[in-house]
Amino acid sequence: MFSLQNKKAVITGGGSGIGKAIAVLFAQQGAEVHVVELTAASAADAVAEISTSGNKVFAHACNVVNQQEVLATFTQIGKLDILVNNAGIAHVGKADTTPETDFDRIINVNVKGVYNCLYAAIPQLRISGGGIILNMASIAALVGLPDRFVYSTAKGAVMAMTLSVARDYMAENIRCNSISPARVHTPFVDGFIAKNYPGNEAEMFDKLSKSQPIGRMARPEEIAALALYLCSDEASFITGCDYPIDGGFVKLNN
């Protein structure tokens, strides 16, 4: 079950964190993996880990904000079966503390970047006779999180795009779903804590972990396992759905 043999998968932001875990797992399941990152160096660790196991992997340096770069990258990749729109950046701030430059930057990467990849990938999915698109949303689109104004805005847009794409391309055998993680223990989280809470890293890590009812953060590999299911043939009846993977945060955190 959950084989991706003879499938070609593109994972944006696949060089670290959740994206890397997805890239590694998809390769283990037989997919030819294409890691799209801002620079080749950003993809190096994922490529090295996948290559060591003898699986096919390719790195592509591409800024998802630039449509021409995205189109050129997807043309080079050619027909594909799976797109995972994972590339994104975080932000902390309220509506009146978010500068316009920050607002534009987050929307460009987290919304326009997803649109650019959809725009470039759908014609390549058609060549394959259909396929799967998986967008990385967030629980920030489902509940009110403090100090996450523009990030929540962007992830809400990703969730809406998921529904639109699922509806528009259903007849072309293209499925589209999204995943909404809660807090996941990635290098970004460690860096965020070190930058904003110097000297109190352990205390803040424990506090952030316990904000999930289950009492800990998710591991990237747990998000990857859900991604694998949704991109496999076993999930062929699923489209237009969002899947919170949140340790009980949305429903139980009251």
Q: Catalytic residue, from 151, 169, 197, 243: name it.
A: 151
Q: Which residues pair with 33 in a beta bridge?
A: 9, 57
Query: CA-CA distance, 95 to 175, in Å (whole number)?
Result: 34
Structure tokens at 76: 């080079």
CB 247 within 8 A of CB 218: yes
Please tell me the number of Cα atoms within 13 Å of 3 on its side-chain side.
3
Q: What is the rounded CA–CA span in Å between residue 19 and residue 43?
A: 10
Shortest CA distance to 12 belongs to which of 31, 29, 30, 34?
A: 34
CB 187 within 8 A of CB 16: yes
Q: Three-state SS for 39?
A: coil
> Token match 């993977």: residue?
245
- The reply to whether 151 belongs to the active site is yes
Residue 223 in contact with residue 11, Cβ under 8 Å?
A: no
Location of structure tokens 């990703």? 158
Backbone φ/ψ region at 12: left (φ over 0), alpha (ψ -120 to 50), beta: beta
Alpha carbon 152 to its chain centroid, in Å, reads 15
Query: Cβ–Cβ contacts within 10 Å for residue 19, how many?
Result: 30
- What amino acid positions are annotated as catalytic residues? 151
